[in-house]
Chain A
Amino acid sequence: AQSVAQPEDQVNVAEGNPLTVKCTYSVSGNPYLFWYVQYPNRGLQFLLKYITGDNLVKGSYGFEAEFNKSQTSFHLKKPSALVSDSALYFCAVRDTFRGYQKVTFGIGTKLQVIP
């Protein structure tokens, strides 16, 4: 079975400082990994994905994530946080084992950027 862990319920960071939102995963085969952002009462917006290739993935709004196979992690990062980055962030994984389709989401991490 596949699973995703986001160990932090909330991350607080000062505006202008670098931010990291953590994610670890467990799959049987090779993972497809995703990050999404959700603003209040809105659906999820896609930020970035890792399918294969370069371990450092760059996405929307200046976000990036690094795939680390040995640590089974896919942490989301941004060099300089903005107040407008404050939102709920979800990490998601899809196992490629035997063509499995379902995507599993983490519980979400609330990012609060302090002015």
Chain B
Amino acid sequence: GAVVSQHPSRVICKSGTSVKIECRSLDFQATTMFWYRQFPKQSLMLMATSNEGSKATYEQGVEKDKFLINHASLTLSTLTVTSAHPEDSSFYICSARDGGAGEQYFGPGTRLTVT
């Protein structure tokens, strides 16, 4: 099956710094990628949808200047958490869609801890 990787898998950073998370589709081209945030024992909350070569579409309540998303190629999307605060600590998961009607393939997630 299709594989999506995320890097890093775990990151600890100090408050006020920025952190970049990479999401790659390894064996398919993903015109659409999604970024989710998952709080403990809760469902996935969609943060934004990104299409290759265009600006990301953010969900209501998600600060686009804080969570910068870049989808520069058909296999790579990045999420940068700028000026991180402890409340940004969470599990961030990306996914990529293979084709218009296909299922989404998920990355293994990135555990962000802001101290």
Give the contacting residue for B105; candidates A41, A42, A46, A102; CB below 8 A.
A46
In this complex, how many residues of chain B approach chain A with their Cβ under 8 Å: the count is 22
Across-interface contacts of B49 in A (CB, < 8 A): 101-102
Across-interface contacts of B6 in A (CB, < 8 A): 43
CB distance from B100 to the nearest CB of A (A): 9
Which of B11-19, B40-48, B62-70, B78-86 interfaces with chain A? B40-48
In this complex, how many residues of chain A approach chain B with their Cβ under 8 Å: the count is 20
Residues of B within 8 A of A (CB): 1, 4, 6, 32, 34, 42-44, 46, 49, 91, 93, 95, 101, 103-109, 111
What are 12 contact pairs spanning A and B, CB under 8 A?
A: A34-B103, A42-B108, A43-B6, A43-B93, A43-B108, A44-B93, A44-B95, A45-B106, A90-B43, A102-B46, A103-B104, A106-B43
Residues of A within 8 A of B (CB): 32, 34, 36, 41-46, 49, 51, 90, 101-108
